[in-house]
Amino acid sequence: MDTPEVLSASARTVHTLPEDQPDLVAMRAWVGTLLRDLSEDVRLDVLLVCTELASNAYEHAEGPRAVRVQRHLDYIRVEVDDHTPAELPHVGESRLGDSRGRGLLLVSQLSRCWGTREMVGGKTVWAEIDA
């Protein structure tokens, strides 16, 4: 895997997630390298948000899936695409059991805002983290 450059202000880049098995370690390494010049606190918040959104895309939606990271002057925007338009996320609820469903609560707490938007054949779940 090529080593990505540090993501400059207003730059955007995409990471396609594997189809069958999530490789969250590779995704986190990619994001961590892109944002390596940020403070550790901000970088860890972004990594956790990326992990939660990507995990949700694997557990609750169909592929293909992709992660986008966009850096602005005062925040980082994370977007995760999947191809299941009818399955919009619900904070604190999971069809996988009562001990699940806390990921979007974390995203909500770590982000200044988050949401979803429909796209052709799927949806994007996004979050913005203060830098």
pLDDT in tens, 25-58: 999 999 999 999 999 999 999 999 999 999 988 8
Strand, helix or coil for residue 58: helix
Backbone angles phi, psi at 103, to 5 degrees: -60, -45
**pLDDT tens digits, one per residue of 110-120:** 999 999 999 88
Angle at 119 between CA 73 and CA 25, to 5 degrees: 60
Distance between CA atoms of 110 and 1, rounded to whole angstroms?
29
At position 29, the amino acid (one-letter code) is A
pLDDT, mean of residues 93-100: 54
Distance between CA atoms of 90 and 103, rounded to whole angstroms?
10
pLDDT, mean of residues 103-126: 92
Give the pLDDT confidence score for residue 23 in this predicted structure: 85
Give the pLDDT confidence score for residue 105 in this predicted structure: 87
